[in-house]
Amino acid sequence: MALTTQIAERFRLQHRKWSPTSRAFTFKMEDLYNFKVAVTLEEAKALREVKENVKKQNKVWWLWEANRGPEWYAAPGMSCFSEISLVNLSECIELKKLVRKGVPVELRPKVWIAVSGAAKKSSTVPESYYADLCSAIEGRDTPATLQIDQDLARTFPSHPWLDTPAGHAALRRVLVAYSFRDSQVGYCQGMNYVAALLLLVMKNEEAAFWMLAVLLENILVKDCYSDDLTGCHVEQRVFKDLLEKHCPRLAMHLDDIGFDVSLVMTEWFLCLFSKSLPTETVMRVWDILFNEGTRILFRIALAIFKIQEDSLLSNITVGEVLKSCQETARTMYDPDKLLKVAFDGFDVMTTHSLTNQRLKHQEDVMEELENRIQKLNALRSPKELVPRQD
């Protein structure tokens, strides 16, 4: 009783009727990135434990900093994206373990920009590249900039910094700059949430821009954010194969009731779970994403389904499954629980095997999209189809 009362008081309860024994009671608290979240007392306890675990893990990182020197993780060959030599093999393995257990909030900007390859990418252009790009595009309007302007206010509304004129301006500059850097991609909804979290973590516009660039150009599958979302469609088919392999009963059940995984996978993969999972859980996933690549996205998606497999098997409608998936993801406040299932619950998943699966589905996706275009063209207004009569 005393513990729950202390927790309630600590997080400034905002409710007139409260009972320490009430499971349905919720109150608001701030997470590590200043997002306000409504949690139950049980969820508050979980968050408190997570914060304590973060503190313990921070000590491990700072010990490595003291022993190996500042930014030891930025040495050549440390990232999983680079060629590993025998000289630094042991440190590379240790870095991988450390990253999987979580990067300290204070070190995330430096660790991410180093291991992802963003620092290397930015070093290939003049230092003034981003500033020059922002100056060159100022005042220019394109379909991409118009869509970006519409999405700014929708991106994490009510966040104390993102939902301010300064936050909107910074997010706009990053997104517009990238839309001009890669006009083929331009802008796609979903990128706004990713860029917004990058800004919160990196605390620097230019660094957030380069993180977005390395993510879209080197880490994620090609055409993930293209106009027709080809890459996203391919990833969804690959995931469906993985679900059938690792959770065959569940995959069959979902198929029987007509649940298409794209109902959740589109948002999960385009927003990289930023709209679905609690912020610190997203950060833990991104820690691994920037060091190891996209395999973690499939593992996390599989883990979310695996954790709720028994309850999903009892759901008999598409709506029930969708609600269950969304609620399970939203309340996944313990990243260690999720990551344990993600890494221990499934077989080895190599980059090579994922590449082969993508190639297998790519042709089918392209053919399906082409058929859709043909059907849309066939549905043009009769006026367009009737020959002119002079």
If you average pLDDT over residues 21-48, what whole number do you get?
81
Q: Residue range 58-77: average pLDDT?
A: 88
pLDDT > 80? residue 277: yes
- The first and second tokens of residue 336, run together, are 């260690």
Q: H/E/C letters for each residue in the chain?
A: CHHHHHHHHHCCCCCCCCCCCCCCCCEEEECCCCCEEEECHHHHHHHHHHHHHHHHHHHHHHHHHHHHCCCHHHCCCCCCCCCCCHHHHHHHHHHHHHHHCCCCCCCHHHHHHHHCCHHHHHCCCCCCHHHHHHHHHCCCCCHHHHHHHHHHHHCCCCCCCCCCHHHHHHHHHHHHHHHHHCCCCCCCCCHHHHHHHHHHHHCCHHHHHHHHHHHHHHHCCCCCCCCCCHHHHHHHHHHHHHHHHHCHHHHHHHHHCCCCCHHHHHHHHHCCCCCCCCHHHHHHHHHHHHHHCCHHHHHHHHHHHHHCHHHHHHCCCHHHHHHHHHHHHHCCCCHHHHHHHHHHCCCCCCHHHHHHHHHHHHHHHHHHHHHHHHHHHHCCCHHHHCCCCC
Residue 295 has pLDDT above 60, yes or no: yes
**Can you give the pLDDT at residue 373?**
74
Q: Are 236 and 261 in contact (CB under 8 A)?
A: yes
Q: Which amino acid is at 104?
A: P
* pLDDT tens string 175-201: 999 999 999 899 999 999 999 999 999
Rg of the chain over Cα atoms, rounded to whole angstroms, equals 23
Domains delineated in the chain: 2-103 (no CATH), 119-219 (1.10.8.270), 230-374 (1.10.472.80)
pLDDT of the residue at 85: 56
Percent of the chain with pLDDT over 90: 65
Place 28 in a pLDDT band, splitting at 50, 70 and 90.
Answer: confident
Q: Label residue 87 by pLDDT band (50, 70, 90).
A: low
User: What's the whole-number mean pLDDT along residues 208-214?
Assistant: 98
Rounded mean pLDDT of 163-186?
96
Give the pLDDT of residue 7. Answer: 37
Query: What average pLDDT score do residues 212-237 get?
Result: 92
Residue 3 has pLDDT above 50, yes or no: no
Average pLDDT over residues 156-180: 96
- Asked if the model's pLDDT at residue 81 lies above 70, the reply is no
Work out the pLDDT band at 83, boundaries 50, 70, 90.
low
Q: What is the pLDDT of residues 353-377, one digit of tens each?
A: 999 999 999 888 888 877 777 777 7
Structure confidence by residue, pLDDT tens digits, 6-26: 434 443 434 433 434 445 688
Predicted pLDDT of residue 381: 55
* Position 382 pLDDT exceeds 90: no
Poorest-confidence range of 68-82, 114-128, 130-144, 262-276? 68-82
What is the per-residue pLDDT for 20? 46
Looking at residue 4, its pLDDT comes to 40
Which of the four pLDDT bands, split at 50, 70 and 90, describes residue 383? low
How many Å apart are CA 290 and CA 304, to the nearest integer?
20
